[in-house]
Structure 1
């Protein structure tokens, strides 16, 4: 663990060096030359680098320092002693939503029947996520400022993509049962994609409401990570996924789709109009009560209320009840909120800092893309620990640059020169590259290890299971 931490800090030092090599020191006009930095040079040479230490090269090698050699890959990957628990895996969930049971449930049952039996469940999950990714791409092209207004069809595309993601996310398990390919990998892959979508899907909602790089925009794009974390934390302790009468994956996504459709019809400016004007014809006394209050003014309050009254307290209650049932101490579990606390506080300190240009120059899209990797890694590690009955993962190295970003965004607080907009953007891009490579490398190692141990395929249905599924379908 110490060796991994040491290499992680070395990698982070390379990331920071992108800023440091151009940092103007007091009484010094010229920047630090990277070639004269013995720490960086020694670190790169230690890991076999024979190239010139230029900033573009360092951008790619900063990650290499955190995971430089093949033997470390084995150390990071899960052991057979942990994987053995996957052989006794059994999915457990409780969904109390009437909407799921009476409205969407029949739709999901009908939709799964049109999927070919050769289509693997994880591919169903991935295809659903591709709808979201495609819309994020359209967002970057047509409405990168997250304000708009964009073309009307764009908002409808957001709604359709999010609805298809929800559909695919709910039929992948049904497809697994149809093809006889259920496994712990399916839950890990499914909920791992959900973790990525927390930020990306919410980014689409931010654009649909025209919130832009405002406090409400930042909150809308990143706040869904909070209930997702608590739900995953709850599952880690109870080994059951609980979805209440009103929950985010069902009603939350449907409401998001509704807002997107309304924006497509009326335009995002609707959300800035006084509520009294919108409902005054139906409630004559609304003008005196609401005044100039707009939907945006109450938006954050609505989100916070939904989290407080429909999920988070119930997650805590279920965890406490599970611990008491097992005669385990309760207080230590609250230390497991540490990674989420660091994640939330660091984001707030960086994005809302008056010394940072992150929001002023509207880099919210890039920031949210980066945070999707960070949060995805953080929650997926919890899911993996739940499946393999391992200790709770208190930290991920991908949080370290986030803390660094919060620091460099507030340097004047510490009596240091303010970072320039160009260097801050360069740091964010470096963080994005680091987070993306780290996430996909770790995902590859874990998926490969599970597939080899269980002797299964991640994205294809074995021939024997396909033939058995076809035979069962014909008999039915």
Structure 2
């Protein structure tokens, strides 16, 4: 019996024609981070596969998420001194995040250095980044917690991160160019500094009222929204418009251009409805689980867009994971279930979506490796 195939013949042939095309105008990236990453490269052995660097960085973000889940599962650390997070957790998470960011910065350089550049590495990198889009912000939430931001408000903060990440790949789907956003580098460095400073002065220092009675948590929330609009979303729309004006992009029809937005918007509406209208207030009772389910399904939607964008094929207009998700929303909000049953329903969704997404990711990588005769975590020796 043949194993399930995730990539079509058309997609695999599209990957063969793929050429990476990006524009990075970030001052921080070009004048600070790239010189630093180039310096780091001298310590990276030639036998280390680029994807191994990428995966190691991702595992460090998973480790951070696991640490904060253990010490602050319900985001109550700032409201209960007995649940205070140890200072070493903040310090370790800062180091882990910086190392992960560095590995993400040098994996492409290692690929070019070892002659292993190709679509597999980019797909692997961006696919894991799409999952980190929920892991990293959720760790930062523990700095403010429920004392500053309600679990519902933070849910929309996470969606703001999702939209920014997705729109960058939607932009490339239509323009053919990856315009690397300025906000990414500043956000990563800022997050590392925030975690490190918190390890020294303690999270309580971030809860001092500011002039006008505004809390630091509200400032953090507003900065994320405003910076997203100014440095990401408006720039993306301008770049897409310019590609049509100058006829430099894919020149898709309007319906084809917005097609990738359909599954994302549908998922946003479904998840927002559940968060807002849950009869047992599920977003407050199980926020971490709710965020991880949302992030997992988002990552699956985003990965399928990346596949379509890189292979220059038509993007899916619907994601199969939305069927069980919609069923869970209907059961919880329309039929009505007990608080325990709704949490159980959320847990089942977490298990299902994780299993499906991991199977999808592993299947795509396996098929890419087979097609290009490569190994994901090993550099094949050159035969002279």
Shared fold (TM-score, shorter chain, > 0.5): yes
Question: Greater CA deviation, 331-340 or 293-302?
Answer: 331-340
Match of 2:179 in 1: 242
Q: Distance in 2 between matches of 1:443 and 1:93?
A: 24
Q: What is the CA distance between 1:146 and its match in structure 2? A: 2.1
Match of 1:420 in 2: 338
Q: What is the CA distance between 1:90 and its match in structure 2? A: 1.9
Match of 1:384 in 2: 307
State which of 172, 175, 187 in structure 1 corresponds to 2:107.
172
SS in 2 for 1:396: coil
State which of 179, 188, 198 in structure 1 corresponds to 2:133.
198
Task: Render the CA deviation track for 1:385-419: whole Å, top value 9, x for unaligned.
Answer: 112111012221112233334333422xxxx4x31
Q: 1:354 to 1:452 in 2, by over 3 A?
A: closer
Task: Render the CA deviation track for 1:295-322: whole Å, top value 9, x for unaligned.
Answer: 1223322211111100112212222333
Q: What is the CA distance between 1:432 and its match in structure 2? A: 0.9
1:333 equivalent to 2:257? Answer yes
Match of 1:271 in 2: 206
Task: Render the CA deviation track for 1:258-314: whole Å, top value 9, x for unaligned.
Answer: 2222322333233332112xxxxxxxxxxxxx1x11112233222111111001122
Q: Distance in 2 between matches of 1:301 and 1:180?
A: 43
Question: Greater CA deviation, 142-151 or 172-181?
Answer: 142-151
Match of 2:296 in 1: 373
SS in 2 for 1:224: helix
Task: Give 1:94-109 correspondences, 5 Å limit.
Answer: 94-109=23-38
Answer yes or no: is the 8 Å Cα contact 1:320–1:330 preserved in 2: no
Match of 1:64 in 2: none
Q: What is the CA distance between 1:96 and its match in structure 2? A: 0.8
Moved over 6 A (4+): none
Answer yes or no: is the 8 Å Cα contact 1:231–1:242 preserved in 2: yes
Match of 2:226 in 1: 305
Match of 2:196 in 1: 261
1:355 equivalent to 2:279? Answer yes
Match of 2:378 in 1: 460
Match of 2:55 in 1: 126
Q: TM-score, normalised by structure 2?
A: 0.91
Unaligned 5+ segments in structure 2 are 78-83
Q: TM-score, normalised by structure 1?
A: 0.74
Answer yes or no: is the 8 Å Cα contact 2:174–2:257 preserved in 1: no
Answer yes or no: is the 8 Å Cα contact 1:131–1:162 preserved in 2: yes
Q: What is the CA distance between 1:215 and its match in structure 2? A: 2.7
Answer yes or no: is the 8 Å Cα contact 1:198–1:222 preserved in 2: no
State which of 188, 199, 218 in structure 1 corresponds to 2:123.
188
Match of 2:80 in 1: none
Match of 1:294 in 2: 215
Q: Distance in 1 between matches of 2:296 and 2:175?
A: 26
Structure number with higher relative contact order (C-alpha < 8 Å, ≥ 6 residues apart): 2
Match of 1:430 in 2: 348
RMSD (Å) for aligned C-alpha atoms: 2.0
Q: Distance in 2 between matches of 1:73 and 1:323?
A: 38
Match of 1:342 in 2: 266
Question: Greater CA deviation, 231-240 or 122-131?
Answer: 231-240
Q: What is the CA distance between 1:243 and its match in structure 2? A: 1.9
Task: Give 1:71-150 correspondences, 5 Å limit.
Answer: 71=2, 73-74=4-5, 77-148=6-77, 149-150=84-85
Higher helix share: 2
- Give the paired residue count: 373
State which of 331, 340, 345 in structure 2 corresponds to 1:408.
331
Task: Render the CA deviation track for 1:203-251: whole Å, top value 9, x for unaligned.
Answer: 111113324752333233443111001011111122221124x322x01
Q: Distance in 2 between matches of 1:260 and 1:142?
A: 15
Match of 1:442 in 2: 360
SS in 2 for 1:356: coil
SS in 1 for 2:116: coil
Task: Render the CA deviation track for 1:326-347: whole Å, top value 9, x for unaligned.
Answer: 5543354234321221222222
Q: Distance in 2 between matches of 1:327 and 1:375?
A: 26
Q: Distance in 1 between matches of 2:156 and 2:205?
A: 20
Q: Distance in 1 between matches of 2:232 and 2:20?
A: 21
Answer yes or no: is the 8 Å Cα contact 2:152–2:283 preserved in 1: no
Answer yes or no: is the 8 Å Cα contact 2:54–2:104 preserved in 1: yes
Match of 1:473 in 2: none
Q: 1:397 to 1:213 in 2, by over 3 A?
A: farther
Answer yes or no: is the 8 Å Cα contact 1:205–1:221 preserved in 2: no
Task: Render the CA deviation track for 1:28-83: whole Å, top value 9, x for unaligned.
Answer: xxxxxxxxxxxxxxxxxxxxxxxxxxxxxxxxxxxxxxxxxx55713xx2233321
